[in-house]
Amino acid sequence: MLLMLLCGALLVAGVVIALLWGGEPLVEPRPSSDAARPRLAALGTYARWCALLTLAGTASGILIVGAGGRLAMRLLASTSPSATGRSTEGLAVVGDITIEGTLAFVAFGALPLAFVAAAAYLLAAPWLPRGRLAGPALGVVLLVTGSPFVDPLRADNRDFDLLGPGWLAVAVFAMLALLQGMAVAAICGRVSRALASDSERARGGTAAALVPAVVLVPVGVVLALGALVVAALPRALPSVLAARSAPRGILLGRVLLAVAVLAAAPAFIGAVVSISTR
């Protein structure tokens, strides 16, 4: 019971953050003016982008995907009493509420999805609507293009044969996807203002925001490999960032998002219908 109350409090905190900071635009980290050391300048810019990714991925993964997903599982377990004691696809026991199971879900399920969402936002921010619509738009894109293939709305997930009703599962997980998009956009927008410059204070904030990457070893390894690429090609990152924000880049990005959503729409609709009718 205490674990569920904690998850509820974390989810409420995530919703409050998404609503209060939802209109914050992403302020992209500005490249350092140190032209004499382009490699060091590129690494400094890269570090601020990594700080945004790490903070948004970790915070939204715990507050929305982790806490919200755990509550969703509990809700569906309570509406499916006949499934109590049976094993899910992830080898969890329906009805059992444990700290170990919750931590495993956050570490291996919630955080990877949250980091993908944060990376998608940082890449596609110029292509999304401005203001408060950016977060929900991101949520819709992630929901349609990702959920029927990876989770949480994968039609061949046998958990939906145990837990239901299907329409409730679809509604809950769709709402979580929208909240996740809103939280990622809100956190990135709010934090980006503090990390945009190359000041001493911004560097301190960047270092603090990167701390979770030390604990989350796979994330740290990926970011470290990215740093090697940036160090080898110091002019590549500014060029890519500028290209994606240019008028042609924005047009191309929006076309790519539209094509991705349209291409994934049949699978998404099929998954929703399949799950809802179980």
Residues counted in the chain: 278
Domain count, the chain: 1
The partner residues of 93 in beta bridges, in order of sequence, read 87
Q: What pLDDT sits at residue 34?
A: 57
The answer to whether position 137 is within a domain reads: yes
Task: Give me the tens of pLDDT residue by residue for the chain, a chain 278 residues long.
Answer: 788 899 999 999 999 999 999 888 998 887 665 555 778 888 888 988 999 999 999 999 999 999 999 999 888 888 888 767 777 766 677 767 788 888 888 888 899 999 999 999 999 999 999 889 999 999 999 999 999 998 888 888 888 888 879 899 999 999 999 999 999 999 999 998 887 766 667 677 787 888 888 788 888 899 999 999 988 888 888 888 889 999 999 999 999 999 999 999 999 999 999 998 87
- 152-189 burial string, b = 16+ CB within 10 Å, else e? bbbbebebbebbbbbebbbebbbebbbbbbbbbbbbbb
Nearest to 29, CA basis, from 198, 148, 274: 198
Q: How far apart are CA 124 and CA 110, in angstroms?
A: 21
The answer to whether position 246 is within a domain reads: yes
Q: Report CA Rg, the chain.
A: 20
Q: How far apart are CA 45 and CA 193, in angstroms?
A: 14
Q: What pLDDT sits at residue 211?
A: 85
The answer to whether the Cα torsion of 91, 212, 185, 252 is positive or negative is negative
The answer to whether position 114 is within a domain reads: yes
The answer to whether position 57 is within a domain reads: yes
The answer to whether position 46 is within a domain reads: yes
The answer to whether position 32 is within a domain reads: no
Q: How far apart are CA 213 and CA 12, in angstroms?
A: 25
Domain span including residue 255? 2-13+39-276
The answer to whether position 30 is within a domain reads: no
Q: What pLDDT sits at residue 246?
A: 93
The answer to whether position 20 is within a domain reads: no
Q: What pLDDT sits at residue 135?
A: 95
The partner residues of 87 in beta bridges, in order of sequence, read 93
